[in-house]
Structure 1
Amino acid sequence: MPPISHDMLWLLASGAMIIVAVWSDVRTMRIPNWCVLSGAFSALLIASMPGGLGLADALIGGAVGLALLLPLYIFRILGAGDVKLIAALGMFTGMPGIFGLTLATFASGGVLSLLWMIRHRQSANVLSNLRTGLLHGVMDASAGKLPSAQNFPVSQSRMPYACAIAAGMVLYVLLSKRF
């Protein structure tokens, strides 16, 4: 039996982490820390192998992934598990791959959010929350204050964002010149 290729190991490890994260997020609206930590550890091991990204590039990819999505956690748009999942995937993709992955995730998330909103008949509620948040944000800005996360009411029905992250990763892999 021939040895497993580096790229195949990369796909298997990142895919396993994403599958567990999506399964858990859909069932419980949580992504377990053990899933993200084991994925991050696998990413660092794969990055340190011959032909890998290198530890520095993997760590930078993880840090940039964390930095890109942390504001969305602060504004209660995403959960902490989603941010940690992107950070772990950033360790798989490295730099500048994390930017492509994040862009693909946002595009996938936008499409899936619209489908989720329509499926759960939340259009009026979501648009009302958006209008309220933007109105309060503009009022804060005109008063010289920074807009607050409390300006945006939280919708009743929340989409498991690990699905968007998984779709973004599939899109990233399909469009990547790496594979």
Structure 2
Amino acid sequence: MSATSTLSPFVAPVVISLVLTAAAIDLHRRRIPNWLTFSAWMLALPVQMAIHGAGGGVAGWALGWLTGLSIFLPFYLLRGMAAGDVKLMAATGAWLGATLAFQIAMVTFLLGGVWAIVLVLKSRQQRQLVRNIGVILRTGERGPSVGSIPYGAAIAAGTLVMLFAST
């Protein structure tokens, strides 16, 4: 049985709306607002409790939230990702649970990585990227940026892939 087959029919459309809204805002404003992520966290808890009972709902919500948060938090701490991206992934995990949060994060890393590589190649910044990686490995410091992507869009793409791949 796939992870998505245990989802309530109500959950997937809510999460799709969440990530598409976040992606649209991130593409336009290059940030994901707290009102969106925090309200998603808070709404997910009573929904999870209604679906899985008080104990199961709280546990599923907390484990999903922590999984989404903990996978993306190190990248934020290394200044490779914005806080809104971390909060969006935590919200996605709160709605979908730990297993799907982990799977979505892995697909998101793949899609976001391919997107970033394409942008680096397109902008001809490969040498600077290699220099930056060397500096990071030697000193832990960052070199000049070779660009950025609105990672909320990558999270949305990873979420859609995982929700639709197993249906």
TM-score for the superposition, normalised by structure 2: 0.84
Quick one: which amino acid aligns to residue 81 of structure 1? G
Opposite residue 102 of structure 1, the aligned amino acid is A
The separation in 1 between residues aligned to 2:130 and 2:46, in whole angstroms, is 45
Deviates more, 1:100-109 or 1:80-89: 100-109
Of the candidates 138, 159, 162, which is equivalent to residue 169 of structure 1? 159
Structure that is richer in helix per residue: 2
Gaps in structure 2 of 5+ consecutive residues: 1-6
1:98-177 equivalent positions in 2, closer than 5 A: 98-136=101-139, 148=140, 151-176=141-166
Q: Please give the per-residue CA displacement for 1:77-100, whole angstroms capped at 9, x wherever unaligned.
A: 101000001100111121222221
User: Which residue of the partner structure matches residue 60 of structure 1?
Assistant: 63
Output the amino acid matched with 1:126: L
Distance in 2 (CA, whole Å) between partners of 1:14 and 1:40 is 11
Deviations 1:6-65 (A, max 9, x none): 744212211111112111111221100011112222322331223686221111110121
SS at match of 2:51: coil
Percent identity, aligned pairs only? 31
One-letter amino acid of the counterpart of residue 65, structure 1? G
**Counterpart Cα distance in 2 of 1:168 and 1:154:** 28
Match status 1:14 vs 2:27: no
CA distance in 1, matches of 2:64, 2:22: 19
* Aligned equivalent of 2:39: 38
Q: How many residues align?
A: 159
CA distance in 1, matches of 2:121, 2:44: 36
| Residue number in structure 1 paired with 2:3 | none
The one-letter code sitting in structure 1 at the alignment partner of 2:107 is: A
Match of 2:95 in 1: 92
Conservation of the 8 A alpha-carbon contact between 2:8 and 2:51:
no
Contact 1:105 1:167 in 2 (8 A): yes
Provide the TM-score with structure 1 as the length reference.
0.79
Q: Which amino acid aligns with 1:166?
A: A
Give the structure with higher Rg (CA): 1
Moved over 4 A (4+): none
Say whether the 8 Å CA contact 1:13–1:43 is kept in structure 2.
no
Equivalent residues of 2:69, 2:90 under 8 A apart: yes
Deviates more, 1:83-92 or 1:32-41: 32-41
